[in-house]
Chain A
């Protein structure tokens, strides 16, 4: 496969290391120092779903790739898991910043 790196252009997928579903960016909030048992259980549920449960889509899949033999960027690649066609490649950090901004504005 060829991943079209947003900064470096087309690079062979062999230069990258795959991690998995881009939902791994959405790490749940910590329960806090003074959490009740109930809060702890709820947070554990959230962490369980975050780390272990996958939609595992057959079709368009947003996923994390790390350019280990390159510029060390983490990328979010939108790739079809049936055809392997790649429709979008983004810098994960850009998305993380945008997500954080969204999160902040909600508060």
Chain B
């Protein structure tokens, strides 16, 4: 049973296409990770699910409710922890939670008990009665997370919850998410931290340019690659022509598949091998055509390999590429009502 269904979701900001036919199904009670670089469309999708944005077209369902027509019902069911922590610097942490409780119409006694419970769980005793303006990034994020959980939502949406956090805060948040995952709460988490998604998510969807390009269980996606990942360089800085020649050569070796030229990493070649014997014989194949092995690394497949396989570049390269194209004015406009 799916708790969230997104069908053919389109959203653009002027000429920028943020979502380009996004389809997604999130099973009830699962921790679902959205993986992709900044600007891939993750936050836009989350904001639509939270009723903060309307899509240009498409269908959105949360817990059996059509989000576009049953906004209030949807809001009752979800807790949202935004990418940029939005807190009132003048209020204390406890006052912020009390305000949040009133906005969700919690009764007085329940609100008080629940706030104490969350202060305990997220270890906020020492600083909860201080003004939010004095909090570190980790404290703010923990407070924000407890705000999102105050009304015990069926769905918790977290947009990049651990960006820039200290290790202690990250560990507290991961611990809580693991605990929630074991209950009936559905969690939708966006991140561009591979290890975070790999560690926490039951299922993931990789988003690129506003659409899902791969989805499934992390282990299944890695297995689907069909072998171990090898990165090869024939020179420190190769060029396109050389890389393509090597690609042509490697492609024909038995036991090699999915050969990709990684332009942003000096035209290195990434490919999968079915066994270690293939690697042993690689050097011989290359020297026949007068190529040498400058560098060669071999690893079990990771989610980054899944991303690389799907897009032709690593997640970090995609981040760097998009970083140069980011329009901060547009992003600011997107986040403001």
Q: Do A and B come from one complex?
A: no
Identify the A interface with B (CB < 8 A): none
Q: Which residues of B contact A (CB under 8 A)?
A: none
